Amino acid sequence: MKYNIRGENVEVTGAIKEYIEKKVGKLERYFDTPPTSDVNVNISVYNDEQQIEVTIPMTNLLLRAEEQHIDLYAAIDLVVDKLERQIRKYKTKVNRKFRQKGSPKHVFAELEKEAVAVQEEEEDEGIDIVRTKRFDLKPMDSEEAILQMDMLGHAFYVFTNANSGDTNVVYRRKDGRYGLIEPS
């Protein structure tokens, strides 16, 4: 794997780079042949909180995790744990597919070849919707929608934009500010 490590508001020292390569490199043990993809790592610091985002694009599979922590090294450990869980979950799905076919072979090396088939299997299983809510969309502007969202204590709010007549969504971002989603 080739590493592309970037830092925002932080200098990526040799020690940090070496630690990331060592920890993320341990993920190679899940593959018979190491992936040839690039590992994109973005490290940033905001308000004394370290954030690390790791993306590993592979054929028909995208491994991605991000984590925030006061200590950068702890954040690196946590993000690698998340990636390991994703790989194990995916490995279980691939092995389940092999077992259903009656094949004795339980190999994770076939991961990239079988990704499309597993996605089709997931689509067949369906999604279990556990609750449905219905409500009337009131015409209002985005500021009023944000006030309604805050009063309800929700992270998002769906409303009809009084100016355009379109259905819009306001949401609270991780940085504490707000976002607006409009149809194009």
Could you tell me if 85 and 152 lie in one domain?
no
Could you tell me if 149 and 71 lie in one domain?
no
pLDDT confidence of residue 155: 87
Cα separation, 25 vs 77, in Å, equals 12
- Number of domains composing the chain: 2
Neighbours of 178 (CB within 10 A): 17
pLDDT confidence of residue 171: 94
> Taking phi first (over 0 means left), then psi (-120 to 50 degrees means alpha), and beta for anything else, what does residue 182 get?
beta
Distances (CA, A) of 49 to 45, 140, 174, 175: 6, 36, 13, 12
SS3 for 3-24 is EEEEEECCCCCHHHHHHHHHHH
Q: What is the CATH number of the domain that holds 144?
A: 3.30.505.50
Owning domain of residue 159: 139-181
The β-bridge relationship of strands 2-8 and 178-181 is unpaired
The β-bridge relationship of strands 156-161 and 61-69 is unpaired
pLDDT confidence of residue 107: 44
Cα separation, 95 vs 30, in Å, equals 13
> Is 22 contained in some domain?
yes
Cα separation, 110 vs 95, in Å, equals 10
Q: What is the pLDDT along the chain (184 residues), one digit of tens a residue?
A: 788 899 888 888 999 999 999 998 888 887 766 667 788 899 998 888 889 999 888 766 778 888 989 999 999 999 999 988 888 887 777 666 666 655 444 444 444 444 555 455 544 556 778 788 887 788 899 888 888 888 777 889 999 999 889 999 999 988 889 999 998 8
Cα separation, 40 vs 6, in Å, equals 8
Could you tell me if 144 and 121 lie in one domain?
no
pLDDT confidence of residue 17: 92
Cα separation, 59 vs 25, in Å, equals 19
> Taking phi first (over 0 means left), then psi (-120 to 50 degrees means alpha), and beta for anything else, what does residue 143 get?
alpha
Taking the whole predicted model, whether its pTM rises above 0.85 is answered as: no
Residue with token string 């339980």: 106
> Is 9 contained in some domain?
yes
Residue 2 makes CB contacts below 8 A (sequence gap 6+) with 37, 38, 39
Could you tell me if 155 and 118 lie in one domain?
no
Instruction: Write the pLDDT tens digit of every residue in 64-82.
Output: 888 989 999 999 999 999 9
> Is 114 contained in some domain?
yes
pLDDT confidence of residue 105: 45
Residue with token string 């998340």: 82
